[in-house]
Structure 1
Amino acid sequence: MTFVESRSERIRPERFHGSAGVEDWRVVGEGACAYFRTGSFAVGARFVGAIGELPGAGGDHPDVDVRQDAVIVRLITVTDDYYGLTERHVELARRISAVARTLGMSADPSAVQTVQVTVDALEGPKVVAFWRALLGYQDRAHSGEDLMDPHRRGAPFYFQRMDVPRPQRNRIHIDVWVPYDQAEARIAAALAAGGRLLNDADAPSNWVLTDPEGNEACIGVAGPPCPGLA
């Protein structure tokens, strides 16, 4: 295996979080994300320009969202057969964090999250075809049950198969992906606001909650750090 091939090795969230120097970052449903507080749009613009000058940044295509007082950066590989992280993202995350420090910016991992819309469907292919056309989305890595915005703006859609109709329950629910160290606080806040815990069988990676009228939401996390992976 060449050096280039090894740096392109696909990795799981646990491997990313177990690496040194990525404390600013959290892996959520849409890749490794960091939220940097800039204090001004002008500083954020300089930060984005500096990211563009980093070696390898162009090849890894980071998604950058510039706001009035913050910049959100997302690292993820999107190909026909893969949607996730590689070893190269670890080093790029370190370099981006280093640039932020030189500009006096701080990261706020608690501000990271992504949202996914999940549709429960009896006839998956037909339902997927409708939403694919309506949203102008594309299949994600040939999954047949995941749709993504080709311009990477809108929330992804996931289609979950039902074996029998469930007329007594809603058939659309929201998946909220939060950092592993924010899940408990987010769940507690939702319960305090009148929600109800429906299912925690898959905790600590997933919890199902409902609002006071039974509409469902899933809180998901991706890979807390594991000792020995650095």
Structure 2
Amino acid sequence: MDKVGNREILESIANGLNDWRKLAQPLAARYRTPDTASGAAFVSAVAHAAAVAGHDVPEIRLGPGLVDVSLFTVDGSGARWITPEDLGLARVITLPAHEHGLTAAPEEVTQLEVALDTADDTVAGPFWAALLTGEAGNTVHDTVFDPRNRVPSVWFQRADAHRTPRQRWHMDLWLAPEAAGTRIRAAVAAGSTVVDDSHSPSYTVLADPEGNRVCVCTAVDRD
């Protein structure tokens, strides 16, 4: 599989794919629709464009006033990557979106990933894969992916073995780069504390008023 690196993806976004944003794995777009009929027609156009291109049908969500489209390619191991074909399909999708009167809202794309600190993901992984997806084998490297996308992915963050109780679960909230700062300021205004912003804008660690941590992540400054 011909994979596209994160830097090349960001360059493509800056040069013609302005409707799209890179999240943890997928390339994602959100479009605002003037009415349900326009949204449904766009969804049909996307499915047709994917079929003509020989691409799997993208993940598409049609909701009141919006359409979300998520692009990625799954390799033989189940891992998810962006390929040149994904970038090409993104360019093709952009045209019918505008033809159907849809308006891009890239700052609204969001992906929630759940992270668990573990010293050995080969021990914890099969359990969480079986519980969440029904198949213990749905672990790919350090992540559980549901092939049907019914639940968020679970990422196992490598940590030292420890006896002292501490927070081991946290959420990674992936946002468009232009939305991260606004969301962080809103969280701080609601009582959050910035624990670590030394890696911003790649990720910023926040804690809620009780000390529970969460990472606000973007694709910027990642390989």
TM-score between both structures, scaled by the size of structure 2: 0.88
Letter in 2 for 1:53: H
Superposed displacement of residue 30, structure 1: 3.1
Match of 1:26 among 16, 21, 34: 21
* 1:101 paired residue number: 98
Is 2:41 the counterpart of 1:70?
no
Partner deviation per Cα, 1:135-178 (whole Å, 9 max, x = no partner)? 125535x30x2101110232100112321326453211010000
Does the Cα contact within 8 Å between 2:30 and 2:68 map onto a contact in 1? yes
Q: C-alpha separation between the residues in 1 aligned to 2:37 and 2:191?
A: 41
Is 1:129 matched up with 2:126? yes
Unpaired runs of at least 5, structure 2: none
Choose which of 47, 53, 77 in structure 2 pairs with 1:52: 47
Any conservation in 2 of the 1:51–1:57 contact (CA below 8 Å)? no
Return the letter of the residue paired with 2:11: G
How many angstroms does 1:129 deviate by?
2.1
**CA distance in structure 1 between the aligned counterparts of 2:198 and 2:138, rounded to whole angstroms:** 29
Percent identity between the two aligned chains: 34
Does 2:218 match 1:221?
yes
Match of 1:139 in 2: 138
Contact 1:121 1:162 in 2 (8 A): yes
Aligned partner letter, 2:6: P
Q: Offset of 1:99 from its aligned partner?
A: 0.3
Secondary structure at the counterpart of residue 53 of structure 1: helix
In structure 1, the residue matched to 2:203 is: 206
Q: CA deviation at 1:126?
A: 2.4
| Preserved CA contact (<8 Å) 2:26 2:81 | yes
1:31-42 → structure 2 map (5 Å cutoff):
31-42=26-37
Deviations 1:101-140 (A, max 9, x none): 1111101011101000111224432222221111125535
Instruction: Give 3-state SS (helix, strand or coil) of 1:59's partner.
Output: coil
For 1:179 and 1:67, how far apart are their aligned partners in 2? 20
Q: 2:112 is paired with a residue of what secondary structure?
A: strand
Paired residues, number: 216
Aligned mates of 1:164, 1:10 — CA distance in 2: 34
Equivalent pair of 2:130/2:138 in contact (CA under 8 Å): no
Amino acid at match of 1:184: G
What corresponds to 2:168 in structure 1?
Answer: 171
Q: Give the structure 2 partner of residue 195 of structure 1.
A: 192
Q: Higher relative contact order by CA 8 Å / sep ≥ 6: 1 or 2?
A: 1
Write the letter of the residue equivalent to 1:14: R
Q: Which runs of 5+ in 1 are unaligned?
A: 1-7, 225-230
